[in-house]
Structure 1
């Protein structure tokens, strides 16, 4: 969704669809301008907006994780009496965060459904009792904060190109959540420090292989594979290393390469770029390199052979 507005009430109405606690205070209507872009990726929403005004904003999410970066000259961000480095993104899972700036700000944010995120991290860790919570507003370090910003910029470009691609959008959702939880201090770090689940590994691997072979054309993620194999994501990764000296992600990637190879060999499935995107490969050059490594020829050679 994208719109531009000069009406404070409409802006707050839109904003509160994603952050119900959000509000604008002390807005100068003569300078006010709002340019909003948002996109949904499953359990999270990617938001970017430019807001021109002397603004004091307040956010206190209830059922979401809100991750935000305010880029503005002389921006001030804080929570209670704690000051937050305005040059870095911040995360809140309920703590009230206030921000103010005097001119134009560009804001990037992820709004993540808390229940969905908790279900995902329980699957990843295998810890069914894990309660997802933040233990700090700031990133773990400055480089982590920059990594989060690069990831969000990448997501903005990727989402614009993948509006109808289920496989890619599922992977982007998982990637966004994984990066966010690695960048900020949360309870997942304590759980990840414990040993991976290792029970029933050979059976789990066989189940995983069958599930991947039957569903590689669908928007499944490694977490879905692990759930189908009745094991945590960490446990499945450990089991694949032990049994196959590989990873579930690598097997899924090869299964999708095989699907792309079939489509190109059959012909009539669209251009190479269309086939690559259908099977979850967003970068043509990376797809071509992976394809050549797997099949010894470029995708264009397979497509040309099919046209003969």
Structure 2
């Protein structure tokens, strides 16, 4: 269960399950995934394991699946990426099929029913809310969101490692804390969505319209900047910024490049960095940490935050906090 708490925090749900009983394992998987599972070949003494971190906008599951497991799943309104760490996986839907051995990956776009079969599998499965995909791709909210294409062909090793690094860091980031800043949760979800759309060529970029160039005016920048400056501590997306500027996401991107030499999201990140800087200047070092302030402003990787901060302000964040 995931809930939004006070001061913009998200209570992260965690479950840990393990059994050596075939029937208990099947019942648990049915309940956890809302699907119909058939488990065979799970020898005496073998142990099925399932761990889940549920942050609402995304979930990360780690599974050890001994024997042969076959199941069908009705359409799920989430993007699902399965990273096969050991064993094998076959997945098929009405459009195509995918197979992966250890080190490979398969993906099911949101809204597609599928059937799958695993053999002695160890997997990391990530699901992402489709609203995050809309934000990442910059589709205006008044426009229909085109279904993602079903992927074809194997994922290249470098791309698979790119995804794996992000997913592993996400699970580590949410492994212990009971609550996390909502802005941090949304930024990690967007990172996972953007990485999936990079690893799997699922959707073409939104087509530009002639009006987008016409709308890329200083007034557009002014409205967008005012909105960002007033809402940087909130979970806002490119679509939100464009709506506040009364233009399309593509038009606001054009406007920022033309008049500021940057992008709306880069400007948002710089504004949030300044917010973190101000908090570091005013915070009590005995009551908070650099990591907590960075997370509050959506910077999910402490090392990268430190590099960005030092590049911008000429000192490491801990020096600012303790000055």
Please list every run of 5 or more consecutive structure 2 residues that lacks an aligned counterpart in the other structure. 1-13
Question: Is structure 2 residue 52 aligned with structure 1 residue 38?
Answer: yes
**Structure 2 counterparts to residues 169-188 of structure 1, below 5 A:** 169-186=185-202, 188=203
CA distance in 1, matches of 2:289, 2:132: 36
**Structure 2 counterparts to residues 9-158 of structure 1, below 5 A:** 9-17=23-31, 19-28=33-42, 30-51=44-65, 53-64=66-77, 65-73=79-87, 75-79=88-92, 82=97, 84-86=99-101, 87-93=103-109, 94-101=112-119, 103=120, 105-114=121-130, 116=131, 119-120=134-135, 123-124=138-139, 128-139=143-154, 141-158=156-173
State the shift of 1:257 in Å.
1.8
For 1:160, the equivalent position in structure 2 comes to 175
CA distance in 2, matches of 1:267, 1:91: 44
How much is the aligned-residue C-alpha RMSD, in angstroms?
3.0
Q: Deviations over 1:230-282 (max 9, x none)?
A: 44434322221011001122211221122122222223262223222222223
SS of residue in 2 equivalent to 1:77: strand
Change (3 A) 1:77 1:207: same
- TM-score, normalised to structure 2, is 0.78
For 2:294, the equivalent position in structure 1 comes to 276
Between Structure 1 and Structure 2, the one with more strand by share is: 2
State the shift of 1:90 in Å.
0.8
For 2:313, the equivalent position in structure 1 comes to 295
Aligned length: 297
Please list every run of 5 or more consecutive structure 1 residues that lacks an aligned counterpart in the other structure. none
- TM-score, normalised to structure 1, is 0.81
